[in-house]
Amino acid sequence: MKYRIITVLLLLALIACNNERSDKESTNIKGHPTLEEMIGQMIMIGFRGFDIAEVSDTILAHIENQRVGGLVLFDYDVVKKEAKRNIKNPEQLEKLITDLQNHSEDHLFIAIDQEGGRVNRLKATYGFPASVSNQYLGQLNNLDSTKFYASQNAATLSQMGINVNFAPDVDLNINPENPVIGKIGRSYGADTSTVIAHASVWIAAHQKEKIISTLKHFPGHGSSHADSHYGLTDITDYWQPQELIPFKTLAQKDLVGIMTAHVVNNQLDTVPATLSKKIIKEIIRDDWKFDGLLFSDDLHMGAVNDLYDFETILKKSIDAGVDILLFGNNLRYDEEIPRKIIASVAKMVETGEISKERILQSYNRIIKAKSQIQ
């Protein structure tokens, strides 16, 4: 009888121990993301639709199943060549963003290119406040004016629910005929102190609204003679070291990310900056000790797609230190891109081509940034 009681007690203790372990394992599974979910947080995509009913089931499934960590908004569909994408008017846009956030278990990055001037998705014709270009503000060189427009812009984004702005452009206007920067008024000027002063005011206004500002286009696109949207842009013969100064100075501020450029600069490395460990990791991470978010420029752009296959682009950009893999779905359209990215990156982690620790680094930066803007 005595031994039977002891046996029963031991069995009960073992069952309790196993239940406790199972509870802990369940908590760990629920409390820690899978590899696929961590990769999903690194993905930002574009999509079509003015309201949630128009957004495809595929895109909504990606959001609901944590295959994307962010969305980027456009007002013009380049593939369809029509001004019918995500933005119609303020009321419509605010509801769209609210509905998208409600479809996600985790807080989404909602991003936009809202520099002002030519790069202006929230146009006055849609009912948004009028904006001016960086060139206008730099030439006026009145910080109060810059503060007015920056504060107006940040308040508008905040009201809509947008929490990442791919601005300010801090490229130096070294080549005024540059087709993608100087010629269309995107630079505050050629002087580093002018660019830093105005960009600082811009960043401060967005900080107040808990919006991440994104410095672009690292390591400097202002001296280029070509547009990296359409093919190889080699700035080796034109780039100047002072183009790094605004990035290095402004990266020390809170709620600031950096967007990489797909430019080739043989003074620094032989591959496009977005894919260069030598440029991104050694300069930004190791030398500057920057631990904020690094966004790729659109990885659908010709400057990288004409040179490398899909898997190589992913591997090189992640190895280099990019946290957010941006596929705008506006130079080509592929709603299955998140699934393809996750499958490719997960496979590379399994084979040891990319370390899981490297994925975890980006995941932790993303979660930290999201906690600061909620």
Catalytic site positions: 229, 297
Torsion of the alpha carbons at 171, 257, 197 and 153, rounded to the nearest 10:
100
**Angle, vertex CA 166, rays to CA 163 and CA 170, nearest 5:** 135
Query: Is residue 295 within 8 Å of residue 325, measured between CB atoms?
Result: no
C-alpha 262/C-alpha 260 separation (Å) is 7
Q: What is the dihedral of CA 256, 260, 265, 268, to 10 degrees?
A: 60
Cα Rg of the chain, angstroms? 23
At 112, list the tokens.
């936009």
Q: What DSSP element (H or E) covers 218?
A: strand 212-218
- The CA–CA distances, whole Å, from 269 to 215, 224, 238, 307 equal 21, 16, 14, 15
- In sequence order, the 6+-apart residues with CB closer than 8 A to the CB of 211 are 154, 157, 158, 162, 163, 164, 165, 255, 373
